[in-house]
Structure 1
Amino acid sequence: MGERVIRTADLRNMESYLNNLGNSVNIVAGQIENVGADLNNTKNTLDQLINEFHQFVRSDQLQKNVQLAETRLVKVRQELETEYGHYGDVRRRVNGILQAVDTSLIKKETIENASEDQMLAAPRYWLAPCLIALSAWINDNKELAEKAMNEAIRRDNEKTALFFALVTRRGARYKASRKWLENYFGLQDPHQLEREIVVLIDGFTNGIFGPDARIKCGKKVESWIEELSQKVGFVEEQREQWKVALESKSKKVDEELYPYLREFGKNWGEIEQSLEGVKLHKIIADYFQDVFAKEVTPVKSIAVAVDALLDTLVSRFDDEELPLRRDERLLSLVIQENGDQERAEKLFEEEKVIENQISFTQLLTNFSIHPEVSNASIATQKFSISLSKDWIKSAHEDLTAENRANVPIDINLSIDQWEGVTQDGTNEEELIVSINNHVEKRRNAALSKVKLGVQHWAGLIGGILFTLTGFGVPFLFILAGFCYLYFYLGRRNLRSRKAHISSEFDQLSKYCTENLRASIAEVVDYRRDYKENDANAQLVTEFLDGISPEQYTFSSFDSARSVQ
């Protein structure tokens, strides 16, 4: 009786131990599953952190580039002021003398003395002897005027000629003005024009130089283009030049557009490039229409008009300042592009505005596309675009053809290890079946890996053996129970793990299907967006066909007025 009680108690304790063991096995199995899930979460989090880190580094670098550019820009401008600030005194004195003569409020002796001081302060500057010559001319000192003009010509023949062409035109000395203009024209090579030609073209288009000079300027422009056209490959060169100029107006696609194609489109780079290219049509059309919509209001007097050109000539085109002016422009572009050094350098190279010498056709391109940097007026901008319209049309047609040829036919999608192809989204159902089959294969592959281990089958076999031999040795039944229990718990845990894996793949299937549908919807939007924007190519052609250079050469100060 006592042995029976002890055995019963022992068996109850044994049963408790087995239950605890089973619970422990379940806990361990759950922890293993949690560890696996944690590893996946950790990997995803790590990938996200890596992307955020790269974005942070990029953002930080851009901010530092902006700060550095701002600091350097201040330094460059300070250097310009330090090195060439005294030139500004000479420049201001020129306009001061001209306006003083208009009002007759200052003695001629005062003008003469002030001019001589400036000659001493700027020993290398071409404008200083021009100032002396101007002063001597006012004081009727012909000998000094000629000496000063010869010195100015020695220092810079072209700027001096253009300067006195403007000054004599201001004083209604038409014969002298034509003579100086002829001198200036004789120094020009249309393949390598000096930068101050801007002033001449601006004066011509705004009707500054009088009727005779206006006709002469027009004929000279025609002869320059004719001479340049004789060069082999000229047309091809203009097309390439204008392609670069037009492309400089392109804008990046809004980062909030097409988020699914950005993430899941394997050839998103091609899609983005095609969008930037096709949206360029409307940008160019709007740009040209905006230029020609602006009204050109001529100033009231020739004196004011010439003074404005003189100010541009004497303050914008000194070769000594050119390196610093280049630095100033590049740094300004870095700030404009929010620290994107590569983009700023590309824009700087495309502009080709701040150069020592430049061809006439490149000059027209600069006037048309970069007027704020090339110092071109609205009248000059209109004239340049109308004069270049055939080259612009050819370049635009090339860009249009290239963009259409580079539009991706197939949109390659990649979503969580699945890859598929669509052209216009019409095979949506087919792709959904494909991605679901892909997920199902992955599910089956994952489930096939979840199976009982060798130790579990060994437990089952051990249980059977212990059962068969337990009739001779009853204690072996207890061991058989342990073995069966171990096998049972293993199978129960197996079902739990498979259920968990299946649930995860259900979520994955939903995730993949939703993102695929969203991506296909964006493919449809992309195709429609491209088609609508591509139709805008005709706007550029139609607009350019409706303009001609003759419409935009003004004669504000002539006896007759041109069409405006």
Structure 2
Amino acid sequence: MSTAERIIQVADLTYITKSLHSLNKDIETVSSQVSDVGNVLTNTRSELKRLEDAFLRFVAADLKAKELSLAETRQVKIRQELETTYGYYAEVRRQATGILQAADVNVVRNETIKAATESLMLSAPRYWLAPALVALAAWLSDHAELARRALAEAIRRDDEKTSLFFALVSRRAGRGEACRTWLDRFFGMQDPTSLDRQSVILVDAVASGIFGGEIRLQCTRRIESWIDELSEQAGFVETQRRQWTDGLLTKMPTPDRSDKYSHLSRFSPTWPRLNESMNQAATHEVVLKHFQGIFDGALPSAKSIGAAVDGLLDTLVSQFDDEELPLRRDDRLNQLIINESGDRQAAERRQALENAALDERVSFTQLLTNAAMNPELSKATRATQRYAIALSRAWIRDAHDDLSATFRNAVPAEAEVAIEGWAGKTRGGENERELLASLGTHLDAERDATLAKLKLGVGHWVAGVVGVMALLMAIKGGMVPALVGIAAIGWVVVARSKIAKAKELVIQEAKKKKAQCEQALKATLAELVEWRRELAARDAVAAQVTQLLDAISPEQYTLSTHESTRRVIAAAA
């Protein structure tokens, strides 16, 4: 037996054993904590993206909620200001047709009507309708001089509206010659490239069959001449396509479909474009329903020429004046923000497309576009919408075809997928096997990189060398080197065991993560397939829009009048 063996044999190793046991426990604890930290980091990486997405959604929702609240508050203030500043206009408007109806049944004395209109004249010092009503009351009372003075004042305030107003009043009274005279005056002031918004009333009268005989022929010829004059301008066709493209775009929906495509919206950086493409394709269905709502069913017909003209007069006098436009625009923007649930950007985009309907001066073809697509703003009836679409059907189809092609070209050919640092592309999930293999390779590489870091460090190797050297020295140096050598080598052996356990844990976690990522990829690809299927179905509605437009022609709309004759209004678009 050598001296070293005798020294080890006789030495009391109890303390060393206890120390090694305690050291082993400490190493196990540290190793367990390191493993826990590794697990937390692994989970943190996968949850961080979810947290970021949730935070961004929260911020967006909070901004929308604030914008919605502000829009509701602003709208109340704006409407209060409209009521305060222009509220007296409403009182004047309410009495316009009332005077005519009172004259019909002869239940109100002329002196009462005269006094009422003169009172309105005092309360509306700038409004054109007030002196027009005074002139009307004087006309009913055979006060020619007062009628002339009041009429001159109404013409001074707004010649076009006054002329159209008395053309309609004359038609209501059956004064054909007076109606023709006022219409000639109105037409003489018109430039088809720059019409006032109230010109839609004239189109409405033509479309509704209000004018009879020669007057209707006069109006239709003038409308045809307007179209011919505009058609001779350079770039006319391109302008019509642009106008109708903007009009059709006002119908594009703007919902976020993340709830329906939860995996696709979460794991595809292309999702914003995919969502926009779906909204663009959904436009066809909205446009189709809009046109069907215009052409389906019979038009409500007035029982008499008086009731029909009263409807047009209500529209004419209820249109807000140009000085109200700034407040009306603000009111419309706030209403759109409310309609879009607080999405201000979407509301501003929609208002930008609608603004043409609120322009003070527009071309005749723009007037048709406004009437067809934004009747609530242009004050157009369904008869006017039908007439406008029939006149413009060729331009609408061209614009719709262009818009359809633009939408289809904007559809992403490939969708990106990004999961846990891996990225891939696919058209419609047909390369699922390749993507799964690529994802697996990425995750395996990530696992291997983590495993590569779990190894004995420089300190362990130094401890091992020191331990071996200490044992060799113990042969000659006694018990102390032997104890040092045993402790050093024991620490290395325990560390290696812990590293092996940590690697096994990493492998298990990596396997679990791989399964979750593969499942997420499969779900994302499945949603992409469903998205493409829905997109194709919505895009197919474009053909139905085309069929509806092809079936429309001005010749098919024989507008009944309040006379015994009928006339087909025909104009080539």
Query: In which range does the TM-score fall when normalised by the shorter chain?
Result: over 0.9
Which residue type is aligned with residue 491 of structure 1? R
Structure 2 partner of 1:159:
161
Deviation sequence 1:454-499 (CA, Å, 0-9, x none): 1212222222222222233134322222112101111111101101
After superposition, residues 64-103 of structure 1 pair within 5 angstroms as 64-103=66-105
Structure 2 partner of 1:225:
227
Aligned mates of 1:230, 1:353 — CA distance in 2: 24
Task: Show structure 1 runs of 5+ residues with no match.
Answer: none
Range with bigger deviation, 99-108 or 49-58: 49-58
Deviation sequence 1:323-351 (CA, Å, 0-9, x none): 22222212211211122222212211211
Cα offset, 1:426, TM superposition: 2.4
After superposition, residues 131-530 of structure 1 pair within 5 angstroms as 131-252=133-254, 254-351=257-354, 352-472=356-476, 473-530=478-535
Aligned mates of 2:522, 2:23 — CA distance in 1: 48
Range with bigger deviation, 373-382 or 418-427: 418-427
In the superposition, relative to structure 1, how do residues 77 and 363 fare at CA in structure 2: closer, same or farther (>3 Å)?
same
Aligned mates of 1:104, 1:269 — CA distance in 2: 65
Structure 1 partner of 2:3:
none
Task: Show structure 2 runs of 5+ residues with no match.
Answer: 1-5
Range with bigger deviation, 60-69 or 176-185: 60-69
Deviation sequence 1:78-110 (CA, Å, 0-9, x none): 222212222222222222221111111111222
Q: TM-score w.r.t. structure 2 length?
A: 0.92
Aligned mates of 1:58, 1:412 — CA distance in 2: 23
Cα offset, 1:265, TM superposition: 2.3
Range with bigger deviation, 112-121 or 226-235: 112-121
Deviation sequence 1:139-161 (CA, Å, 0-9, x none): 11122212211121111110110
Cα offset, 1:278, TM superposition: 2.6
Aligned mates of 1:160, 1:319 — CA distance in 2: 15
Aligned mates of 2:489, 2:123 — CA distance in 1: 109
Is 1:551 aligned to 2:546, yes or no?
Answer: no
- Contact kept, 8 Å, 1:73 with 1:332, in 2: the verdict is yes
Aligned mates of 2:409, 2:380 — CA distance in 1: 36
Aligned mates of 2:542, 2:106 — CA distance in 1: 58
Cα offset, 1:562, TM superposition: 5.1
Which residue type is aligned with residue 346 of structure 1? R
After superposition, residues 27-42 of structure 1 pair within 5 angstroms as 27-42=29-44
Aligned mates of 2:118, 2:372 — CA distance in 1: 41
In the superposition, relative to structure 1, how do residues 421 and 42 fare at CA in structure 2: closer, same or farther (>3 Å)?
closer
- Contact kept, 8 Å, 2:257 with 2:275, in 1: the verdict is no
Which residue type is aligned with residue 83 of structure 1? T
Which residue type is aligned with residue 419 of structure 1? A
In the superposition, relative to structure 1, how do residues 110 and 160 fare at CA in structure 2: closer, same or farther (>3 Å)?
same
Range with bigger deviation, 354-363 or 517-526: 517-526
Cα offset, 1:8, TM superposition: 7.7
Aligned mates of 1:532, 1:336 — CA distance in 2: 26
Which residue type is aligned with residue 425 of structure 1? G
In the superposition, relative to structure 1, how do residues 308 and 478 fare at CA in structure 2: closer, same or farther (>3 Å)?
same
In the superposition, relative to structure 1, how do residues 114 and 289 fare at CA in structure 2: closer, same or farther (>3 Å)?
closer
Identity of aligned pairs, percent? 44
- Contact kept, 8 Å, 2:210 with 2:309, in 1: the verdict is yes
Name the Cα RMSD after superposition.
Answer: 2.2
In the superposition, relative to structure 1, how do residues 540 and 495 fare at CA in structure 2: closer, same or farther (>3 Å)?
same
In the superposition, relative to structure 1, how do residues 530 and 128 fare at CA in structure 2: closer, same or farther (>3 Å)?
closer
Aligned mates of 2:281, 2:83 — CA distance in 1: 44
Aligned mates of 2:286, 2:107 — CA distance in 1: 52
SS at match of 1:388: helix
